[in-house]
Amino acid sequence: MRKSILALLIAGLLAVVGLVSCTASNSGQSGDTATAEASASPSAEVTVPADRMDQVAPSDAQAITDPANPEATLVLFTDYQCPYCAQMDSVIQEVKDNYGDRVRILVRNYPLPKHANAAPAAQAAEAAAEQGAFEEMSASIFEHQQDWKTLSAEEAEDAFVSYAEDLGLDTEKFRTDYSSEEIRNRVNKDLQDSQDLQLPGTPSLILDNRILELDAVDYGAIQEQLDAALPN
């Protein structure tokens, strides 16, 4: 019942706000062309129940920043094949630069099933994280998004290995981690949590327990909400 209530709240949010995202649905809605900004209208705030926050920010989530005493936690649910998520990557770096000592920033994988290479790309980012290069690999994957998104599985893997090599990683270890059950399970767990939370698409941002409304992939909009959430 609680899941149904959360789903209805998010559906109401979508009905009122034109969210800029790649939609989780295959219903034929647009949402994979990052060209136009949508307009926003006032809507009810959507929050995640306290007993489900472990699905938002588990202890093993990839941390972009992890201050000892964070004043807030911002969690990004991303899909490496989504063009809006590529834009969001640079916005999150701005948040890191400006709030890194105050805000814990976590990244979760939400590879939409309609994006054939989104899960493999997430595996590549997680494999690089095993060598301390999560952010660097994520940036490379997004930078070359147009190059790998339509490749076969084997070709995509080779592309990701080439990015790992460019970053100076141990490519043999990278390949092993990329194909490992542990990494696949990690990505699948993130996907399951995203679906259980009924997140409508990517990128999705949750600030503490509040699902943020995004009418554009814009640093200013996130900055405004962070400033409002943080103590003066």
What is the secondary structure of the chain as a DSSP string?
Answer: -HHHHHHHHHHHHHHHS---SEES--SS---S-TT-PPP------EE--GGGGGGTS-TTSEEEE--SS-SEEEEEEE-TT-HHHHHHHHHHHHHHHHHTTTEEEEEEE---TT-TTHHHHHHHHHHHHTTT-HHHHHHHHHHTHHHHTTS-HHHHHHHHHHHHHHTT--HHHHHHHHT-HHHHHHHHHHHHHHHHTT--EESEEEETTEEPP-SSS-HHHHHHHHHHHS--
φ/ψ of residue 166, rounded to 5 = -60, -30
pLDDT at 230 (0 to 100): 94
Which of 158, 157, 77 has its CA nearest to residue 112? 77
pLDDT digits (tens, 9 = 90+) for 124-158: 999 999 999 999 999 999 999 999 999 999 999 99
pLDDT at 218 (0 to 100): 87
pLDDT digits (tens, 9 = 90+) for 39-48: 333 345 689 9
**Structural domain of 224:** 2-229
What's the whole-model pTM score?
Answer: 0.85
Q: Which residues of the chain have pLDDT under 70?
A: 1-19, 26-45
Q: Are 20 and 84 in contact (CB under 8 A)?
A: yes
Total domains, the chain: 1
Between CA 95 and CA 220 the distance in angstroms is: 10
The CATH number of the domain holding residue 205 is 3.40.30.10
Q: Are 221 and 207 in contact (CB under 8 A)?
A: no
